[in-house]
Amino acid sequence: MLDLSLTAEQQGQLAEWHAFAEEVIRPVAAEHDRDESTPMEVLEEASRRGLYSLDSWAAGLEDPTGLHWLLANEELFWGCAGIALQLTVSGLALAGLSAAGTPEQLMQCAPECFGSPSDIKLGALAVTEPTGGSDVASLTTTARRDGSDWVLDGHKMFIGNGGIADVHVVVAAVDPDLGHRGQASFVVPKGTAGLVPVRRLSKLGLRAAYTGEFRLESCRIPADHLLGGQDKLDERLDPAGHDEDISGSTTLKALERSRPVVAAQAIGVARAAYEYALAYACERRTFGHPLLEHPPIAELLADMAMDIDAARLLAWRAAWMGATDRDYQAAEGSMSKLKASEMATRVTEKAVQILGGHGYLADHPVEKWYRDAKVFDIYEGTSQIQRMVIARSLPEAESPLPLRRAEFEEGLGCRRGRGGRARFASRWTVPAWSCFTSRRS
Ligand SMILES: Cc1cc2nc3c(=O)[nH]c(=O)nc-3n(C[C@H](O)[C@H](O)[C@H](O)COP(=O)(O)OP(=O)(O)OC[C@H]3O[C@@H](n4cnc5c(N)ncnc54)[C@H](O)[C@@H]3O)c2cc1C
């Protein structure tokens, strides 16, 4: 039976995250955005409340509905996307650790990603390089074995907590010719010789979150910092090995599972902008009436509300599929991320429009939400890459497409309607459609 209502426990958690976003995050959001400063006091308070902790992260893994992280991310990003990213980016390092590491490595490194209220720790997942983030099979950072150590050389950019993290999970090429299969993940602790911070990157949005660039210059780490261990790496590098399950479908599935979480982040920002614009439209009067009574403004708000709900439904479906271990046959994770990202860009732009000139000023938060929203089209896989993933999952036609228009129309039983417009005969559309749906189920 389909049931989209939240359990009492989920409602309680939602209220807790919302209160944290409203009482702790929002009051300092403008200041950290303006100063581009890291909100350490927010991390400390989140740590005191158990929201920035290993337990909170692990609760997401155990949630049978898959909604835990979505609910948390939507509320935190509703508070402020930059601060929320700073609160959640250590989770990316943990995701890298749990995807590639042994249980022992995870247990050893995971507490180092959060620390305690009096000693906050940070994690980083470093994949992207200055030369490219979309083409992750072509990483140029290398790792070579030297006696009982690994030596890493390369350059990483756009990394949350990059260069300042206590735990850097670094993806590097052991055999660059093998693409994904020749890559491995390594733990590089803070203070390791050869881990050279370059700079904090100054950004359009998410300005409270630390995003950094660092170099690895003959950076030497012990052999046991290779995540998963040497045997697993040898298995991947073995040309006779069946690499597909390790480097192909498993990785893609992990990505599909993480994408609805990013969708929830975008939904949080969009919801903040929509709520603010709605309240403004109720109060602001022009031509003797509240803005909301002018149909063009009411229609903008109606579209915003509908867009947000549609994106949330796609995200919840994708999260539910991940939690129930269903196959993402139609790239439902990518669909949810793409829909929510583009929705957030649209909705925040409409919010600025509804506030008119005031929306363009830093006096109101909508200009910040507009700047923040753009990142969702870019990080964790750009919109172009999501479309490529979705396109690849489209069901193939039963037979090759006819090459000429006439054959196409004849083959599909096409006939001309009035005005010369082509119409398909229903005897063709019905079987064609049922074939399409049966291939998906
Ligand atoms: C705020 C922020 C935080 C980030 N945090 C992290 C992090 O913590 N860790 C991390 O590893 N990375 C992080 N990233 C990096 C992010 O994932 C990359 O920026 C993203 O994957 C895109 O890579 P790129 O910037 O190198 O763009 P490129 O790969 O150079 O792409 C440039 C443009 O070309 C398009 N394009 C590329 N290839 C194709 C193609 N084949 N067909 C059509 N279009 C194509 C892209 O869609 C994009 O529009 C972060 C980025 C930002 C902005």
Residues 96 and 226 in one domain: no
Does residue 2 sit within a domain? no
Give yes or no for residue 217 having a pLDDT over 80. yes
Residues 128 and 105 in one domain: no
Provide mean pLDDT across the span 330-336.
Answer: 96
Give yes or no for residue 265 having a pLDDT over 60. yes
Does residue 380 sit within a domain? yes
Residues 142 and 46 in one domain: no
Give yes or no for residue 426 having a pLDDT over 80. no
Residue 331 main-chain phi, psi, to 5 deg? 55, 45
**CA–CA distance, 41 with 265 (Å, rounded to integer):** 21
The pLDDT value recorded for residue 437 is 37
**CA–CA distance, 92 with 161 (Å, rounded to integer):** 11
Provide mean pLDDT across the span 397-422.
Answer: 53
Give yes or no for residue 151 having a pLDDT over 60. yes
pLDDT band for position 256 (50/70/90)? confident
Residues 202 and 219 in one domain: yes
pLDDT band for position 412 (50/70/90)? low
Distances from the Cα of 326 to the Cα of 311, 320, 329, angstroms: 20, 8, 9
Strand partners for 170: 126, 186
The pLDDT value recorded for residue 90 is 96
Instruction: Tell me the per-residue pLDDT of 164-184, one tens digit each, with 9 for 90 and over.
Output: 999 999 999 999 999 989 999
Give yes or no for residue 425 having a pLDDT over 60. no
Give yes or no for residue 48 having a pLDDT over 70. yes
Structure tokens given for 171: 């993806």
Domain boundary among 218, 245, 272: 245
Overall domain count for the chain: 3
Does residue 31 sit within a domain? yes
Angle 182-186-190 from CA coordinates, rounded to 5°? 150
Does residue 134 sit within a domain? yes
Enclosing H/E stretch for 215: strand 211-222
Structure tokens given for 100: 């590639």
Residues 222 and 300 in one domain: no
Q: Using DSSP, state whether 324 is helix, strand or coil.
A: coil
The pLDDT value recorded for residue 238 is 87
**CA–CA distance, 328 with 330 (Å, rounded to integer):** 6
Q: Which of 75, 112, 342, 380 is catalytic?
A: 380
Check if the beta carbon of residue 70 is closer than 8 Å to that of residue 319.
yes
Helix axes 54-62, 68-79, angle to 10 degrees: 130
Does residue 438 sit within a domain? no
* 385 touches ligand 1 (CB under 6 Å): yes
The pLDDT value recorded for residue 414 is 46
Check if the beta carbon of residue 368 is closer than 8 Å to that of residue 30.
yes
Domain boundary among 116, 142, 162: 116
**Domain membership of residue 153 as a residue range:** 121-245
The pLDDT value recorded for residue 282 is 98
* 160 touches ligand 1 (CB under 6 Å): yes
Q: Are strands 167-173 and 123-126 parallel, antiparallel or unpaired?
A: parallel
The pLDDT value recorded for residue 255 is 81
Strands (DSSP E) found in 119-210: 119-120, 123-126, 142-146, 149-160, 167-173, 183-189, 195-200
pTM (2 decimals)?
A: 0.90
What is the amino acid identity at position 75? E
Lowest-confidence pick of 152-156, 206-210, 318-322, 406-410? 406-410
Check if the beta carbon of residue 160 is closer than 8 Å to that of residue 123.
no
Q: Ligand 1 test: best mutation among 33, 113, 128, 345, most atoms within 8 Å of CB?
A: 128
**Total count of residues recorded for the chain:** 441
- CATH number, position 268: 1.20.140.10
Residues 298 and 322 in one domain: yes
Ligand 1 centroid from CA 373, angstroms? 15
pLDDT band for position 350 (50/70/90)? very high
HEC string of 99-120 equals HHCCHHHHHHHHHHHCEECCEE
Shortest CA distance to 279 belongs to which of 354, 368, 343, 348? 354
Does residue 227 sit within a domain? yes
Residues 291 and 207 in one domain: no
Domain boundary among 58, 90, 116: 116
- CATH number, position 83: 1.10.540.10
Q: Using DSSP, state whether 121 is helix, strand or coil.
A: coil
Structure tokens given for 392: 């690849």
380 is catalytic: yes
What percent of the chain stands above pLDDT 70? Answer: 87
The pLDDT value recorded for residue 405 is 63
Does residue 343 sit within a domain? yes
Residues 139 and 258 in one domain: no
Instruction: Tell me the per-residue pLDDT of 112-129, one tens digit each, with 9 for 90 and over.
Output: 999 999 999 999 999 999
Residues 284 and 401 in one domain: yes
Structure tokens given for 433: 């459609």
Does residue 387 sit within a domain? yes
The pLDDT value recorded for residue 62 is 87
- CATH number, position 127: 2.40.110.10
pLDDT band for position 416 (50/70/90)? very low
Distances from the Cα of 420 to the Cα of 124, 405, 415, angstroms: 60, 14, 9
Residues 332 and 387 in one domain: yes
Residues 240 and 256 in one domain: no
357 or 61, greater pLDDT: 357
Q: Ligand 1 test: best mutation among 378, 380, 389, most atoms within 8 Å of CB?
A: 378
Tell me the pLDDT of the chain averaged across its residues: 90
Atom 42 of ligand 1, nearest CA residue: 384
Tokens 């898959």 identify what position? 66
Angle 148-150-155 from CA coordinates, rounded to 5°? 165
Residues 141 and 237 in one domain: yes
